[in-house]
Structure 1
């Protein structure tokens, strides 16, 4: 398969990821309206918005292993179909339990995208050239997140008549894209895309069995470099969820106006996109993934440290927040790319390995925002929670330096 067609398939995968994050964050974008319609308590609203990350914890390993066996094309197609249908269901939900259950289904479908795309890149490209295609799909995820707020809520919501019509029409659009995905991949010569002669095609994958699943999980769990990568992945999610959820509030506590703080959060997302585009390509040229991971984690630690102290000139925490965004943007594709380069894992077990990273890492994704809020209640300052984030980043620096890639 030509290089252009390989990149085209990754581009289609990036659209699938953008579709997922649009559906995912369409609920937070409309949370105030949904809370009013359902009469939700703050606790119920918190459970609803945290349902998808928490779904990743029990589902990730199973989803990653299955992706290795069914292949990325079937996994991505099934995932898009699943969360597209769930989005339509959410538009018709009349009770909180129904809305919550369908949101969990969105999360289950999302795991197939999260692990299917690294698997796709590992089958299409050799490890030393996986940086740019990995950046493509991560940027797609950021675009979908931004669009959920800037387009879904601000532009389409009014003309369509509120959150229910928006959910319904976007769900239909996602299912239409799922159909397009199935048609395109059925036409592609998928048995000839491997970047090495030994790459598995779609017709020679091993039989899926409990014994095989257990064996693959054991291989990944026992791999020391994978355990180091799990530390980095947990810190990446700790920073992403912790800072992205609390940054505006922290800045406001430093005297920044609400409108400016919201704009700075948008800048944080833009910095993530820049890091996602720049860092993996740079790591391809340097050939030192572990050192680059450590550098990104160190940048996150330094940037978070600038938010600890007050009063300071506004430029310092703003610059620090942008540095964190750039660093975490670089970590995002790298934690998905590195498993394919680890001895004993490789492209064959990429889905299982990335599943492990997220199964454990999403615990950090939950703890990030939780600890910042809980420690504020205990101490009356955000510095305590931010200090925990700083220390977590330093542990990722050590783990990254020890990675043999």
Structure 2
């Protein structure tokens, strides 16, 4: 197999890992009504459950991103598959809410390794000027998993298998089987042949080494103590990264807050549960369109910050339509599709921008993306959690959706100030 084909084969396999992750992740939101009934959950508990994976990122993400920079993307992705696949099998047998919540946190641990492993993989095997399309590919893979959780998992496989428990069990086993395949491939594939090397002699020297990493085991032991602190400090010191973190917080606030609750919000308006799940799949399809189209648009314009701001403005307008009561169903549906298009465009950009910043570059991509998600997943947790809590307090979803709208305006301002 040629080097180019091997690169895209690895990208495709990594993207399927992301597909599997998002199917497992969003199996809970897809079956939230059934889970709430079986476990007797309040809206606050349901919000905590759907926000558990994003919340896990807050203490774990930065460390996971730094570790990914040093152990390499292949080990990170393989470990993640084992973690969330095993947790999905365990959730099928959960008999109490605390057990279900704890296993969902384990899914979150595995999720971090995929989230940071794939940008690291792209930065290692593709040059920066060619990273846009590969980044879109794996993000589309993640969206396919999300859509499948609602349409295929909720609408087809779950009913056919007899409910959410057998669905969780068999899909967890499928992920574990895929983990074995991943480890076999990366064990035997000539990984050093596909590593992208800078044209300078110094960079080439840095890339030499065995396996995935560019350092020996002894070097990694030193890096894990002293260099880890240095790299994290460099990322934190970047003003551009601070702006990107704001965008990341809002992006995750929107995508988790709205995506987790959209089916339930639509059902509260009288929409059939199966149709509501299918409409969420439409939301995810709009994300895919944004993911594929927006990076190309930003390449042509040469203004990634302006494009980010435009996507955030689209999210604001779309979410605002969900606040309007007594309108035909088509209005919130179109609004939800607009939000999907906007967050789909932001998704690859927050992963691409760090590698293009002079003070970050490809070598600190894992750490930088880890920072974005470590802080950003506060928004990922607060989105679904606040929608649930505010519903318990007010009896309406409008309050939580209003918070999301305010966040979108903050992302518009941050996007305009990004120096890319």
In the TM superposition, what is the alpha-carbon distance from 1:120 to its structure 2 partner?
0.8
Q: Would the alpha carbon gap of residues 204 and 85 (structure 1) be closer, same or farther in structure 2, given more than 3 Å must change?
A: same
For 2:232, the equivalent position in structure 1 comes to: 217
Q: Would the alpha carbon gap of residues 224 and 23 (structure 1) be closer, same or farther in structure 2, given more than 3 Å must change?
A: same
Query: Does the 8 Å CA contact 1:191/1:203 hold for their aligned counterparts?
Result: no
Q: Would the alpha carbon gap of residues 128 and 33 (structure 1) be closer, same or farther in structure 2, given more than 3 Å must change?
A: same
Query: Does the 8 Å CA contact 2:151/2:281 hold for their aligned counterparts?
Result: no
For 1:391, the equivalent position in structure 2 comes to: 406
Structure 1 vs Structure 2 CA RMSD:
2.7
Q: What's the secondary structure of 1:102's corresponding residue?
A: helix
1:335 matches 2:345: no
For 2:189, the equivalent position in structure 1 comes to: 188
Which among 309, 314, 321 is matched to residue 306 of structure 1? Answer: 321
For 1:282, the equivalent position in structure 2 comes to: 297
Query: Does the 8 Å CA contact 2:43/2:389 hold for their aligned counterparts?
Result: no
Aligned equivalents of 2:391 and 2:36: distance in 1? 25
Q: What's the secondary structure of 2:26's corresponding residue?
A: helix
In the TM superposition, what is the alpha-carbon distance from 1:56 to its structure 2 partner?
1.1
Which among 347, 368, 375 is matched to residue 360 of structure 1? Answer: 375
Alignment of 1:179-328 (within 5 A): 179-197=180-198, 198=203, 200=207, 202-205=212-215, 206-207=219-220, 208-248=223-263, 257-258=271-272, 262-310=277-325, 315-328=330-343
Which among 355, 359, 380 is matched to residue 344 of structure 1? Answer: 359
Alignment of 1:81-230 (within 5 A): 81-197=82-198, 198=203, 200=207, 202-205=212-215, 206-207=219-220, 208-230=223-245
Aligned equivalents of 2:57 and 2:98: distance in 1? 19
Aligned equivalents of 1:382 and 1:180: distance in 2? 43
Query: Does the 8 Å CA contact 1:336/1:354 hold for their aligned counterparts?
Result: yes
Gaps of 5+ in 2: none
In the TM superposition, what is the alpha-carbon distance from 1:93 to its structure 2 partner?
3.8
In the TM superposition, what is the alpha-carbon distance from 1:313 to its structure 2 partner?
6.0
Query: Does the 8 Å CA contact 2:51/2:256 hold for their aligned counterparts?
Result: no
CA deviation vs aligned residue, 1:24-82 (integer Å, no higher than 9, x gap): 22233344554555565655444333321211111111111100110111100111112
CA deviation vs aligned residue, 1:334-379 (integer Å, no higher than 9, x gap): 1111111111211111111111111111111222234445555666
Under a length normalisation based on structure 2, what TM-score does the superposition of the two structures give? 0.86
Under a length normalisation based on structure 1, what TM-score does the superposition of the two structures give? 0.89
For 1:60, the equivalent position in structure 2 comes to: 61
CA deviation vs aligned residue, 1:73-98 (integer Å, no higher than 9, x gap): 11001111121222223334444433
Aligned equivalents of 1:160 and 1:248: distance in 2? 22
**How many residues matched?**
404
